[in-house]
Amino acid sequence: MGRLSGKVALVTGGAVGIGAACVTRMIEAGARVAIADLHDDTGHKLAAQLGANARYLHADVSVEAEVAAAIAGTVAAFGRLDVLVNNAGIAGANKPTHELTEAEWDRVQAVNVKGVFFCTKHAIAPLRAAGGGSIINLSSIYGLVGAPDLPPYHASKGAVRLMTKTDALIYAADHIRVNSIHPGFIWTPLVEQHLGAMGGDVQQHRREVGALHPLGHMGEPDDIAWGVVYLASDEAKFVTGSELVIDGGYTC
């Protein structure tokens, strides 16, 4: 018996990076997992590699109708929903606050905040029907501490942290646990793009940013995926409203 045997999960933004690691580790632990993403080719390929326990569904988390269809599609494919991993996120514009446009601000909130709202909203009915479940929200170290860049992103991750606690309280009586994960820098396409936009040698930036973590390097997607497997499993049955910080000591 795997740690997630019998469970069905939906992972948003599951085609690459942290989301793809979550999908892979959850399936290895015995779950059946739907991947919702915009990267259709990559998502279909990953699902094909992982076999019958994976399914790819196109969904933009900032569009309510697409979210509703992805959740209905998960239940249609696998019969139930036990776990929602709100992982899809974007870094957005890297400008100081006074230079940001309203559209740049709104796009980050639409994906990182409204996306979590839409997915949670539409997951509640199937999670209740399953007798409870687990919602895992990807916040960030920047939902805990500040940084002098990416103002819309950091605002969005702070919002996700408190949406987690509020929903943990609202749905505790339904046995739906809601927790946030706060990764330090994890080497993924998102971080590679962010560091690439700084100009210069990306690998040098990678080492410098890695050195900001007391453990001396960036994390890898599996470091977060193992936390997701734990929070999704019954081992975490008394854990709700918590903040799981996986950051190599960055916020100590």
Q: Which residues are catalytic?
A: 153
Helix (H) or strand (E) holding 178: strand 176-183
Compute the least distance from the CB of residue 194 to ligand NAI, in Å.
8
Using CB under 6 A as the binding rule, whether residue 108 contacts ligand NAI is answered as no
Distance of CA 142 to the CA centre of its chain: 14
CB 242 to ligand NAI: min, Å: 16
DSSP string, 120-157: HHHHHHHHHHTT-EEEEEE--GGGTS--SS-HHHHHHH
Which of 186, 225, 229, 244 forms a contact with ligand NAI (CB under 6 A)? Answer: 186
Encoded tokens for 44 = 């279909």
Smallest distance from ligand NAI to CB 43, Å: 8
- Cβ within 8 Å of residue 49, ≥6 positions away: none
CB of 162 to ligand NAI, least distance (A): 16
Nearest CA among 225, 245, 242 for reference residue 22: 225
Which CB, 49 or 98, lies closer to ligand NAI?
A: 49
Regarding 151 and contact with ligand NAI (CB under 6 A), the answer is: no
Out of 24, 74, 87, 240, name the contact with ligand NAI by CB under 6 A: 87
Binds ligand NAI (CB under 6 A): choice among 4, 7, 8, 12: 12
Task: Tell me whether residue 82 or residue 247 sits nearer to ligand NAI (CB atom).
Answer: 247
What are 3's two structure tokens?
């740690």
DSSP state letter for 11: E
Name the segment binding ligand NAI (CB under 6 A); options: 53-61, 100-108, 122-130, 204-212: 53-61
Interface mask toward ligand NAI for 13-32; x: CB under 6 A: x-xxxxx-------------
Tell me the window of 85-93, 120-128, 199-207, 228-236 that interacts with ligand NAI (CB under 6 A). Answer: 85-93
**Is 132 among the residues that bind ligand NAI (CB under 6 A)?**
no
Three-state DSSP at 63 gives: coil
- Looking at beta carbons only, is 117 or 185 nearer to ligand NAI? 185
CB of 150 to ligand NAI, least distance (A): 10
Q: How far apart are CA 64 and CA 79, in angstroms?
A: 21
Contacts 24+ apart (CB under 8 A), 88-91: 88/12, 88/13, 88/19, 88/36, 88/37, 88/61, 88/115, 89/13, 89/115, 89/138, 89/156, 89/190, 90/153, 90/190, 91/150, 91/153, 91/190, 91/193, 91/194
Residues near ligand NAI (CB under 6 A) are 12-13, 15-19, 37-39, 59-62, 87-90, 111, 115, 138, 140, 183, 185-186, 188-191
